[in-house]
Amino acid sequence: MDLFSSLGLPFVAIDPAVDERPPRPLSPLQLARWAAATKAEAVSRRHPEATVVAADTTVALDGRAFGKPTGPAEAAETLRALRGRTHRVYTAVAVINGPARRRASGYSRSQVTMRKFSMQELEAYARSAEVRDKAGAYAIQGDGGRLVARVDGPVDTVIGLPLHLVRRLLREVLA
């Protein structure tokens, strides 16, 4: 929400209350795009007078999508897979201008290289509250940033809201 506030636009955060499991297997990028669109549609149906911005982030390694972990064990498994390796982060954004019935969507991609953190660091971080609701089981803007060696691409994509993309999509639907 801090990122969205930086745009200087009034907003209200609304839980889309959707099942984020896709109806069929999807690639990591397709999954992020599907989830962002699904969230935007759900909120737009409940608030047809609003302009809705929805985003979803997926971490991808070797063609596998790593979403939000269900608990510390899954977080640890994800972090073990990412440890010392470079993965892609996709954040898809869907925007719907309800009154004008205009839609736009897109995605941003970054590459993140994790350092070879110790198993002790991994276990401690996997038990932290920070891994909840985070694709790839880490929050780069928090303590998870210490696990990262390098980011190639926009950091806000990894955080989960690529502002350059949000600005462009808002211009498209509000024009």
- State pLDDT tens for residues 50-74: 999 999 999 999 999 998 999 999 9
**Catalytic annotation present for 56:** yes
- The domain tally of the chain equals 1
Calpha distance 122→141 (Å, rounded): 17
Which position among 19, 56, 62, 152 bears the catalytic label? 56
Domain coverage including residue 161: 2-174
- Residue predicted with more confidence, 7 or 26: 26
Q: What is the mean pLDDT of residues 66-85?
A: 96
What does pTM read for this prediction?
A: 0.93
Rounded CA gap, 71 and 165, in Å?
Answer: 31
Looking at residue 135, the DSSP 8-state letter turns out to be G
How far apart CA 50 and CA 99 sit, in angstroms, is: 7
CATH value at residue 140: 3.90.950.10
164 has pLDDT over 60: yes
Per residue in 124-137, pLDDT (tens digit) is 999 999 999 899 99
Q: Is the pLDDT at 83 greater than 80, yes or no?
A: yes
Q: How far apart, in whole angstroms, are the C-alpha atoms of residue 108 and residue 143?
A: 23
Give the pLDDT band of residue 10 (cuts 50, 70, 90): confident
CA 95 to chain centre: 15
Q: What are phi and psi of 135, to 5 degrees?
A: -60, 135
